[in-house]
Amino acid sequence: MDVIVTPTPTLQGTIGALSSKNYTTRYLLVAALAEGTSTIYYPAHSEDSDAMRRCIQDLGASLEEDEEKIVITGFGSRPRNVKELNVGNAGAVLRFLMGIAALSENVTFVNTYPDSLGKRPHDDLIVSLQQLGVQVEHREGKLPITISGGAPKGGKITVSGSVSSQYLSALLFLTPLLSEDSEIEVLHDLKSKVVIGQTLEVLEQAGIVIHASDDYMHFKVPGRQAYQPRTYTVQGDYPGSAAVLAAAAVTRSDVTVERLMERSKQGERAIVDVLRQMEVPLTHENDTVHVQGNGRLKAIEFDGDAATDAVLAMVAAACFAEGTSRFYNVENLRYKECDRITDYLAELTKAGAKVEERQAEIIVHGQPEGVEGGVEINAHYDHRVIMALTVVGLRSHKPLVIRDAHHVAKSYPQYFDHLRALGASVEWKES
Ligand SMILES: O=C(O)C1=C[C@@H](OP(=O)(O)O)[C@@H](O)[C@H](O)C1
Ligand SMILES: C=C(OP(=O)(O)O)C(=O)O
């Protein structure tokens, strides 16, 4: 399915933020790893969170869900032996479950998105699992991947953090269940470091003890721990809401997004500060962001690694700012659903934006007069490319057609409904 985005000068109204993807995947996982029954209020519903639901069920958890909550009885440290798991296109779900697969006999993660997740690297996690004595069959670090657990015991592990934080998160979920204590040392750099804060927060809520150094480069993890069954409430999602807030910033608007916790550990809450620094009129009080856009924005310089999943939306806003913006320290955007530097900038350029790429930077020469539009955009299987190009289309001179926009459902199936509720002219059409 494609979406036609027709230029829309004003947006107005109130929406509730979608539920956080990162907290939903984590709460589903820790509930599955507990023996006993946990309850998660307001879990996200999207392809990625559904992938986690499906896989933990395959591994032996039982799930019962109604409108507001999901009740999960976990399998503890003994997942059922399954031959295959299908994580769809969900990177975090794959990496977390590659860790947990070390507790079973022999699991193959199949490759259902050869042009997206199928191209992403997992070598650094594979190397760490091998240090624990786990056998891993793979194709040059990529899917399909078969993991043969063989009862790992724990011990000293190193993991590179220079491509993704998800490898470290995977080890943090696995090691408390092992029979011996573990010590994890992060090598090189740790990208998306802020996301590790979310992993540690959820582990603590699940009753797990981990001793982390302040810089998150060293961890001591006592073995023989048990995840506790608990009740969790999922907060609103900043990465998805960042696109809605960017849309409000580039139009004349009076837009309110509710359920965005001010003291959240989601790095992408930086969208609020970034828009504020770009001189977009807004307030953030009582977990509610209120944007009163006048269409005028100032350029910005920003360390994108602090808010990795909001950078594309920030770049979209910067396309209409006065001056040149620079988003640096963003190399790991290249290892996401597509190459979010080369592929994204190619689509922005098609739409008429003036952007330049460096290996680890995106430079945007803002055009307050708007961009030309009038072209077809390739979504590259990437929900965040789809959301960001929609923001650009709202302020183009001519409509944008976003091909295969249904991939937005990876994280935010109701994105276009939410934008339409705010008055945006966005229409689905058969491809
Ligand atoms: O741990 C997680 O849930 C995630 C970590 C981040 O990935 P990287 O650590 O690969 O940057 C983020 O981009 C992704 O959407 C979700
Ligand atoms: C990169 C993302 O997700 P994942 O790595 O889990 O596929 C994302 O949601 O933008």
DSSP 20: P
Can you tell me whether residue 174 is helix, strand or coil?
Answer: helix
Helices (H) and strands (E) in the chain, counts: 12, 26
Q: Which ligand is nearest to the CA of 164?
A: 1
Is 13 among the domain residues?
yes
Q: Say whether both 209 and 346 belong to one domain.
A: no
Same domain, 294 and 305: yes
Instruction: Determine if ligand 2 sits within 6 Å of the CB of residue 411.
Output: yes
The confidence band for 424, taking pLDDT boundaries of 50, 70 and 90, is very high
Question: Is residue 227 domain-resident?
Answer: no
Domain-located, residue 408: yes
The alpha carbon dihedral of 220, 225, 231, 232 has a sign of positive
- Provide the pLDDT for residue 149: 86
| Ligand 2 midpoint to CA 336 (Å) | 6
Domain presence at residue 230 = no
Whether 229 is in a domain gets the answer no
Which of 163, 190, 221 is a domain's end point?
A: 221
Of 221, 247, 267, which residue sits at a domain end? 221
Is the same domain home to 278 and 340?
Answer: yes
Q: Any bridge partners for residue 148, and if so which?
A: 135
Which atom of ligand 2 is nearest to 309's Cα?
10
User: Which of the residues 50, 305, 309, 382 is marked catalytic?
Assistant: 309
322 and 210 in a common domain: no
Number of domains in the chain: 2
240 in the same domain as 301: yes
Contact between residue 397 and residue 374 where contact means Cβ atoms under 8 Å apart: yes
Domain boundary among 194, 221, 248: 221
Asked if residue 406 belongs to a domain, the reply is yes
138 within some domain: yes
Per-residue pLDDT averaged across 135-144, rounded? 98
Give which of 102, 225, 89, 95 is closest to 161, Cα–Cα. Answer: 95
Same domain assignment for residues 297 and 172 = no
Residue 284's CB: how many other CB atoms inside 10 A? Answer: 18
Strand ranges for 120-163 from DSSP E = 135-139, 142-148, 155-161
- The domain of 375 spans 2-18+235-429
Query: Over the stretch 91-119, which tens digit does the pLDDT of each residue have?
Result: 999 999 999 999 999 999 999 999 999 99
Prediction ipTM score:
0.99
Ligand 1 proximity of 332 Cβ (cutoff 6 Å): yes
Closest-lying ligand to the alpha carbon of 194?
A: 1
Spatial separation of the C-alpha atoms in residues 89 and 406, rounded to whole Å:
13
Q: Are residues 290 and 178 in the same domain?
A: no
Ligand 1 midpoint to CA 249 (Å): 25
Average pLDDT rounded to a whole number, residues 197-223:
98
User: What's 203's domain CATH number?
Assistant: 3.65.10.10
Same domain, 168 and 306: no
What was the pLDDT predicted at 233?
A: 98
Whether residue 13 is found in the same domain as residue 27:
no
- Among 46, 48, 168, 338, the mutation site with the greatest number of ligand 2 atoms within 8 A of its Cβ is 48
Does a structural domain hold residue 254? yes
> Which two tokens mark 227?
């995840």
pLDDT at 150 over 80: no
What band does 151 get if pLDDT is binned at 50, 70 and 90?
A: confident
What tens digit of pLDDT does each residue of 243-255 get? 999 999 999 999 9
